[in-house]
């Protein structure tokens, strides 16, 4: 699908969502090397989970496109760092725990990741793998905006404040019971993460604050 879309070559830009394989990332890199306006997006689950979790046929991990091999995951991380994949998109799917507890055939595709996306990627990519923090932030903020042709956000006096403050030190365990989303389950439940958000502003307005923040 990536190859066919890139071969069209007539659109002002091509943005490939949910890239999940090494082959897909390589095709995007090749198209970019030819000067084509192609980039891609990758999800937190394809950057942190592999098909190995499917051994128990647990519907929590049922997602489209499916989780891939460890080598695919490594290739995606490399493509993200090099900028061939310009954006991280959560692909947040807030199905209820009851919906995901159905048998595998009838459970819906998708998993929730919005509330853990930043600490998950900060822990797994920045802390454990040494990805520069600036790269992670760019791929979650200005990278997606640029890929979609949107004007960049600015941190400047008088500009609307769209920002998130996070704690780079405190470690907390993923507890779905504390989620704001209706999806009170998580593929990362029980995992200890660092880099949790403490405050979120949208257009200068406070929309969320950690209750423990004074």
Q: In 3-state terms, what secondary structure has residue 181?
A: coil
Q: How far apart are CA 14 and CA 12, in angstroms?
A: 7
Question: In what side-by-side order are the strands of the sheet with 38-42?
Answer: 14-16, 38-42, 85-88
**At a CB cut-off of 8 Å and minimum separation 6, what does 16 contact?**
2, 5, 24, 28, 38, 39, 40, 41
Compute how many other C-beta atoms are within 10 angstroms of the C-beta atom of residue 73.
22
Q: Which of 118, 52, 131 is nearest to 90 (CA)?
A: 118
Residue 72: active-site member = no
Place of tokens 């947040």: 92
Q: In this structure, how many other beta carbons lie within 10 angstroms of the beta carbon of residue 213?
A: 9
- Are the C-beta atoms of residues 143 and 135 closer than 8 Å to each other? no
Q: Which of 58, 91, 167, 210 is catalytic?
A: 91
Residues annotated as catalytic (active site), given as ranges: 91
């Amino acid at each position: 699908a990536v190859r066919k879309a890139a071969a069209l070559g007539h659109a002002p830009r091509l943005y490939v969502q949910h890239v999940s394989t090494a082959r897909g990332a390589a095709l995007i890199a090749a198209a970019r090397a030819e000067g084509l306006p192609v980039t891609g997006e990758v999800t937190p689950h394809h950057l942190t989970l592999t098909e190995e979790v499917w051994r128990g046929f647990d519907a929590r991990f049922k997602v489209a496109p499916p989780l891939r091999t460890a080598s695919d995951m490594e290739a995606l991380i490399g493509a993200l760092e090099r900028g061939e994949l310009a954006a991280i998109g959560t692909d947040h799917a807030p199905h209820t725990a009851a919906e995901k507890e159905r048998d595998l055939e009838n459970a819906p595709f998708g998993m929730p990741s919005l509330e853990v996306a930043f600490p998950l990627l900060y822990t797994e990519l920045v802390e454990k793998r040494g990805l520069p923090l600036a790269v992670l932030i760019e791929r979650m903020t200005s990278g997606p905006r640029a890929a979609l042709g949107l004007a960049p956000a600015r941190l400047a006096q008088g500009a609307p404040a769209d920002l998130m403050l996070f704690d780079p030190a405190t470690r907390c365990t993923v507890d779905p019971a504390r989620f704001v989303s209706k999806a009170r389950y998580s593929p990362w439940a029980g995992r200890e993460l660092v880099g949790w958000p403490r405050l979120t502003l949208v257009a200068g307005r406070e929309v969320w604050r950690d209750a423990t923040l004074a």
